[in-house]
Amino acid sequence: MRIQAQDSVLLVVDLQSRLLPAIHEGESVLANAIWLVDVAQTLKIPVLATEQYPQGLGLTEANLRARLPESAIIEKIYFSAIPEGKLLKHADAQHQQWIVVGTEAHVCVQQTVLDLLAQGLAVFVVEEAVGSRKPRDKALALERMRQHGAEIVSREMVAFECLGQANTPEFRAVLQRFLR
């Protein structure tokens, strides 16, 4: 299945200021997530973000938070973003494809992905934009999510599939800003 921009939502899971320093290659995970947020916004793909217990883990990282309207950031206490029902209320029924980035891959990302899959949604996890404190936990989480039906993709796979074709204004905008 290919990713279609008009059917997609980009979900940023718990990229929070106090958690990121503990994440293996956290700066790279954050940079790749920000890149995807910028591409999604260029292509008019809705972006939602979650914050796990922000009183303890801090708010969404400031550079990322500045890119999002306050209404797109959803506070949660469950590890999965699905049980409280807030997340799915923010997405239109037409959005059957979820592109997921964030931390920690083996906790909040994985539990959210498994719950999205259980809802019958297509899920694409961006490998270089998810992280955990330990690389082994990330690797195990990616394998488990794949076994349950999530597709593991790269950020460029997301961009090119959402674009679909060259020689459009959107392609030129993404090419000039993000694909050099």
Domain span including residue 113: 5-178
Which residues form the catalytic set?
A: 14, 76, 108
Q: What pLDDT tens digit does each residue of the chain (180 aa) get?
A: 899 999 999 999 999 999 999 999 999 999 999 999 999 999 999 999 999 999 989 999 999 999 999 999 999 999 999 987 777 777 777 789 999 999 999 999 999 999 999 999 999 999 999 999 999 999 999 999 999 999 999 999 999 999 888 888 888 888 888 876
Sequence length of the chain is 180
Instruction: Kindly report the pTM of this predicted structure.
Output: 0.95
For residue 174, the model assigns a pLDDT of 83
Environment class of 90 (CB within 10 Å of its CB; exposed 0-12, middle 13-18, buried 19+) = middle
CATH assignment of the domain containing 12: 3.40.50.850
- In three-state secondary structure terms, 142 is helix
Q: What is the DSSP string of 25-74?
A: THHHHHHHHHHHHHHHHHTT--EEEEEESHHHH-SBPHHHHTTS-GGGEE
Number of domains the chain is built from: 1
